[in-house]
C-alpha cells in the first residue's frame, strides 16, 4: 500500500527539514513509550517496594520517583514536537499537491474540462487533496512513532525471554500478535471500495452546490427551490450512507484487536501462574504486551486511512495523469507580430476521440489579412469550432490551420495567442477591480494606454460614474455590472491587446438597444486593420463583413458577400429570411 504513495513522497523534499525533525522526535517518542514504560515497572519500581534491610534512603527513593516525570516529560515533548513538525509537513504537502493539480487544469485541453462537471473538479482539488494530505501526514506521523513503539516493546519482551525464566511466557505473548493482522487486512479491503464511493458522492455534492449557485436566478424564476432542495437531500443522503459504511468497518477494527489482545493477556496470565513468574516481571511483560497492541491498533487505523487516501489519489490521478495534448512544439518558430493571413487546408475535426461525428469536414478556405469574416449557419454547424481552431484551443484531426503560412502547431502557444484577441458572447470578468480586469488584455500596458482603450470601448463613461471608478470590484464573473457594461470592458481589453486577429462571438446578441449602439460603434473602430472572425447568431451583425462563410453539418457549403449568397445559396437565404421575419 505504501508503494502506491511512493511517487508522491517527492512533496516531502521541499519540507525536508521539518520531515527530519518529525522523524527524530517520532523515534524518541517510540523508544520512550515502547521500552521506557516497561523498564520502569521491571527495574525502577521494585526496589521501592522490596522491603530490604537496610531500607533505601529517602533521597534514593526521591531520585527513583523523579525518573517517572522525567520519562513522561521526554515522551510528552517528543510527541508534541513530532506532531507539530508532521502537521507543518502536511500543510506543505497540501500546498504542493493543490498547486500541481491547479497547474494541470490550466494546461489540459478544453475538451477535457468540458467533459467534467465543474463541481466535481473543485471537489477533487479541495476535498481529495485534503484527504491525501491527511493520509500522507498520518503516514509520516504514525508510520514512524507506532513501529518504533512496537519494536521497543517487542525488544523488551525478547530481552526478558533471555534474561528471565519466562521464555515460554514471552512466546505466548508474541503468538497472538500476528493474528491481529487479519482484521486489519479485511477491514482495509472493505474501506477502499467504500472510500471511492464516498469521494464520488462528495464530488456530486459539490457539483450540485456549484450548479445551483450559478443558476440562482433561473431557480427562482421557475420556482425550482423545492426541486433543488429535494435533489440536494438525495445526494446528501447517499453521501451519509457511504460515510456510515466506512464508519461501520473502521470502528469495528479497534474492538476486534482489543478482543484478540485480551485473549493474549489471559493466556499470559495462565502461563505466568504455571511458571511462577514474579509480579514485577509479569506487570512489565503485560505493559510491553499492551504497548505492542496499541501501535497495531493505530497501524490498523493507518491502513484504513491509506485506503481512503488511495481512493482520493485515484480521483486526483484522473486529472494529474490526463495527457496534455495542446503543447508547445519541441522547436517552436520564433514570431513577432503576425499579419493575420489565416488559411484552413483540408481541415477535419471531431470532439470525440473516435472521430465518428466530425464537427468540421474537409474545410479549405483562405482569409487574407484584414478580412472581416462572418461565420453563419444553423446551431451546431461548426462555426465556433472553426474559430476555436485558430488560437489552437483544439488541434485539428487532419489538415492544417496556418497563419501567415505558419502552421499554428509550430508556434509557441503564448506567441500565437498574444496575436489574438477574443470577445465572447458572455465575457468573463474576475472578482477584482475594473483596472486589473482591463490589464488582462495586456499586462505591461501603461495607465494612459489602458484609459485610452476604455475610452475607445465607451467604457470610460460609465466607469467614472462608479464610486471607486477604476478601482471598483466587479464581483464574481462581473455580477455587479450590467451585460452592456461587461461587454464594453471586454472590448476595452481587446483594444488594449491590439492583436492582428480578433474573434467576436456575437458580442451584441444579449444587449439592450442603447448598449448595442455603443458596442457597435466601438466594434467599427476595433476591427480596422485586423483579421476578424465574427461568429454570427444575428444577421444584423454581419453588415460590415467583407466575407461570409456558410456552414452546415460541419461543412463549408458557401462563401461570398451577402448579395451573392442571398441570391445563390438556399440555406443562407432561408436563415436570413427566417430571422428577418422573426425581427418583423
Residue 285 has pLDDT above 80, yes or no: no
List, in order, residues 6 or more apart from 543 with CB less than 8 Å away: 562
Mean pLDDT of 424-429: 81
Rounded-to-integer distance, Cα 376 and Cα 410, Å: 29
> For 43-57, 166-180, 409-423, which range has the lowest pLDDT when averaged over its residues?
166-180
The torsion of the CA quartet 560, 563, 565, 566, rounded to 10 degrees, works out to 170
What nine digits make up the cell of 409?
A: 502547431
Residue 206 has pLDDT above 90, yes or no: no
Q: Which residue has the cell 519482551?
A: 157
Confidence class for position 181, pLDDT limits 50, 70, 90: low
Q: Same structural domain for residues 308 and 251?
A: yes
Q: Which of 271, 290, 320 is the last residue of a domain?
A: 320
Q: Same structural domain for residues 565 and 447?
A: yes
Residue 352 has pLDDT above 70, yes or no: yes
> For 437-451, 495-509, 560-574, which range has the lowest pLDDT when averaged over its residues?
495-509
Q: Same structural domain for residues 30 and 117?
A: yes
Position with higher pLDDT, 35 vs 70: 70
CB 134 within 8 A of CB 305: yes
List, in order, residues 6 or more apart from 345 with CB less than 8 Å away: 364, 399, 400, 401, 402
Position with higher pLDDT, 458 vs 67: 458
Q: Same structural domain for residues 307 and 383?
A: no
**336 in any annotated domain:** no
**Apex 526 CA angle, 503 and 388, nearest 5:** 5
**pLDDT 10s digits, 212-221:** 766 666 666 6
Q: Same structural domain for residues 288 and 390?
A: no
**525 in any annotated domain:** yes
Q: Same structural domain for residues 106 and 240?
A: yes
Confidence class for position 171, pLDDT limits 50, 70, 90: low
Q: Same structural domain for residues 447 and 500?
A: yes
Whole-angstrom Cα Rg for the chain: 35
The predicted structure's pLDDT at residue 399: 93
Q: Same structural domain for residues 313 and 375?
A: no
CB 71 within 8 A of CB 45: no
Mean pLDDT of 362-378: 92
Residue 350 has pLDDT above 70, yes or no: yes
The predicted structure's pLDDT at residue 392: 92
Q: Closest by alpha carbon to 41, among 63, 79, 69, 68?
A: 68
Position with higher pLDDT, 309 vs 415: 415
Mean pLDDT of 137-153: 68
Mean pLDDT of 128-132: 79
The predicted structure's pLDDT at residue 186: 64
* Torsions phi, psi for 576 (to 5 deg): -65, -50
The predicted structure's pLDDT at residue 268: 67
Q: Same structural domain for residues 272 and 419?
A: no
Residue 41 has pLDDT above 80, yes or no: no
Helix pair 129-163, 167-176: axis angle to 10 deg: 160
Mean pLDDT of 390-414: 92
Cis omega (within 30 of 0) for bond into 564: no
pTM of the model: 0.69
The predicted structure's pLDDT at residue 235: 78
In CATH, what number is assigned to the domain containing residue 238?
1.20.1560.10
In CATH, what number is assigned to the domain containing residue 577?
3.40.50.300
Residue 190 has pLDDT above 70, yes or no: no
**311 in any annotated domain:** yes
**331 in any annotated domain:** no
**477 in any annotated domain:** yes
What nine digits make up the cell of 4?
A: 502506491
Mean pLDDT of 121-146: 74
Confidence class for position 402, pLDDT limits 50, 70, 90: very high
Structural domain boundaries, residue 265? 9-320
Secondary structure class of 306 (helix, strand, coil): helix
The predicted structure's pLDDT at residue 521: 78
**2 in any annotated domain:** no
**337 in any annotated domain:** no
Mean pLDDT of 389-401: 92
The predicted structure's pLDDT at residue 556: 93
**Three-state secondary structure of 361-416:** EEEEEEECCCCEEEEECCCCCCHHHHHHHCCCCCCCCEEEEEECCEEHHHECHHHH
Secondary structure class of 553 (helix, strand, coil): coil
Q: Same structural domain for residues 411 and 361?
A: yes
Residue 2 has pLDDT above 60, yes or no: no
How big is the chain, counted in residues? 584
Position with higher pLDDT, 551 vs 44: 551
What nine digits make up the cell of 167?
A: 521464555
The predicted structure's pLDDT at residue 76: 79
The fraction of the chain above a pLDDT of 90, given in percent, is 14
User: DSSP alpha helices (H): ranges in 7-128?
Assistant: 16-31, 37-39, 46-49, 58-107, 110-115, 118-123
Q: Which residue has the cell 499554428?
A: 408
Q: Same structural domain for residues 310 and 398?
A: no
Position with higher pLDDT, 299 vs 2: 299
* Torsions phi, psi for 477 (to 5 deg): 55, 30
**Average pLDDT in the chain:** 78
**Three-state secondary structure of 253-273:** HHHHHHHHHHHHHHHHHHHHH
Secondary structure class of 358 (helix, strand, coil): strand
Residue 16 has pLDDT above 90, yes or no: no
**330 in any annotated domain:** no
Structural domains of the chain, count: 2
Q: Same structural domain for residues 358 and 314?
A: no
Position with higher pLDDT, 135 vs 42: 135
Burial class for 399, CB neighbours closer than 10 Å (0-12, 13-18, 19+): middle
> For 260-264, 334-338, 502-506, which range has the lowest pLDDT when averaged over its residues?
260-264
Residue 368 has pLDDT above 90, yes or no: yes
Q: Which of 270, 288, 320 is the last residue of a domain?
A: 320
Residue 349 has pLDDT above 70, yes or no: yes
List, in order, residues 6 or more apart from 485 with CB less than 8 Å away: 459, 462, 478, 515
Mean pLDDT of 241-255: 69
CB 378 within 8 A of CB 575: yes
Amino acid at each position: 500500500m505504501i508503494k502506491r504513495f511512493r511517487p508522491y513522497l517527492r512533496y516531502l523534499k521541499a519540507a525536508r527539514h521539518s520531515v527530519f525533525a518529525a522523524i527524530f522526535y517520532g523515534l524518541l517518542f517510540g523508544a520512550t513509550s515502547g521500552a521506557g514504560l516497561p523498564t520502569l515497572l521491571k527495574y525502577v519500581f521494585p526496589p521501592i517496594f522490596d522491603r530490604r534491610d537496610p531500607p533505601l534512603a529517602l533521597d534514593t527513593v526521591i531520585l527513583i520517583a523523579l525518573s517517572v516525570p522525567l520519562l513522561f516529560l521526554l515522551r510528552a515533548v517528543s510527541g508534541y514536537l513530532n506532531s507539530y513538525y508532521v502537521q507543518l509537513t502536511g500543510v506543505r504537502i497540501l500546498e504542493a499537491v493543490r498547486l500541481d493539480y491547479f497547474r494541470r487544469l490550466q494546461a489540459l485541453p478544453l475538451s477535457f474540462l468540458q467533459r467534467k462537471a465543474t463541481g466535481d473538479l473543485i471537489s477533487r482539488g479541495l476535498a481529495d487533496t485534503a484527504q491525501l494530505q491527511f493520509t500522507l501526514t498520518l503516514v509520516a506521523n504514525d508510520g514512524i512513532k507506532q513501529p518504533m513503539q512496537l519494536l521497543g516493546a517487542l525488544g523488551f519482551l525478547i530481552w526478558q525471554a533471555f534474561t528471565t525464566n519466562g521464555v515460554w511466557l514471552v512466546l505466548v505473548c508474541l503468538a497472538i500478535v500476528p493474528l491481529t493482522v487479519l482484521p486489519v487486512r479485511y477491514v482495509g479491503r472493505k474501506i477502499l471500495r467504500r472510500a471511492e464511493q464516498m469521494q464520488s458522492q462528495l464530488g456530486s455534492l459539490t457539483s450540485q452546490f456549484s450548479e445551483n449557485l450559478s443558476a440562482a436566478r433561473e431557480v427562482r424564476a421557475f420556482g425550482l427551490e423545492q426541486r433543488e432542495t429535494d435533489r440536494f437531500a438525495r445526494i446528501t443522503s447517499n453521501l451519509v450512507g457511504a460515510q456510515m459504511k466506512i464508519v461501520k468497518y473502521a470502528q469495528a477494527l479497534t474492538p476486534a484487536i482489543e478482543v484478540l489482545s485480551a485473549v493474549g493477556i489471559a493466556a499470559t496470565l495462565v502461563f505466568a501462574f504455571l511458571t511462577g513468574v514474579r509480579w514485577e516481571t509479569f506487570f512489565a511483560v503485560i505493559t510491553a504486551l499492551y504497548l505492542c497492541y496499541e501501535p497495531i491498533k493505530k497501524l490498523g487505523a493507518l491502513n484504513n486511512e491509506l485506503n481512503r487516501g488511495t481512493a482520493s489519489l485515484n480521483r486526483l490521478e484522473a486529472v494529474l495523469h490526463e495527457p496534455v495534448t495542446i503543447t508547445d512544439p519541441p522547436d517552436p518558430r520564433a514570431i513577432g507580430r503576425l499579419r493575420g493571413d489565416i488559411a484552413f487546408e483540408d481541415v477535419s475535426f471531431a470532439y470525440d476521440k473516435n472521430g465518428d461525428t466530425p464537427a468540421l469536414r474537409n474545410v479549405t478556405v483562405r482569409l487574407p489579412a484584414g478580412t472581416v469574416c462572418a461565420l453563419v449557419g444553423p446551431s451546431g454547424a461548426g462555426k465556433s469550432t472553426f474559430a476555436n481552431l485558430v488560437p489552437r484551443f483544439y488541434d485539428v484531426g487532419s489538415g492544417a490551420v496556418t497563419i501567415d503560412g505558419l502552421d499554428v502547431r509550430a508556434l509557441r502557444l503564448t506567441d500565437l495567442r498574444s496575436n489574438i484577441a477574443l470577445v465572447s458572447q458572455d465575457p468573463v470578468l474576475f472578482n477584482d477591480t475594473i483596472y486589473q480586469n482591463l490589464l488582462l488584455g495586456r499586462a505591461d500596458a501603461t495607465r494612459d494606454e489602458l484609459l485610452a482603450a476604455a475610452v475607445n470601448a465607451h467604457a470610460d463613461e460609465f466607469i467614472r460614474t462608479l464610486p471607486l471608478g477604476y478601482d471598483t470590484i466587479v464581483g464574481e464573473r462581473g455580477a455587479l455590472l450590467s451585460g452592456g457594461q461587461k461587454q464594453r470592458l471586454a472590448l476595452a481589453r481587446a483594444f488594449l491587446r491590439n492583436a492582428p486577429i480578433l474573434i467576436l462571438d456575437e458580442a451584441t446578441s444579449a444587449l439592450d438597444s442603447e448598449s448595442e449602439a455603443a458596442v457597435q460603434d466601438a466594434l467599427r473602430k476595433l476591427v480596422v486593420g485586423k483579421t476578424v472572425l465574427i461568429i454570427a447568431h444575428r444577421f444584423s451583425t454581419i453588415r460590415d463583413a467583407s466575407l461570409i462563410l456558410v456552414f452546415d453539418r460541419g461543412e463549408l457549403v458557401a462563401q461570398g458577400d451577402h448579395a451573392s449568397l442571398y441570391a445563390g445559396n438556399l440555406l443562407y437565404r432561408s436563415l436570413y429570411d427566417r430571422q428577418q421575419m422573426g425581427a418583423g
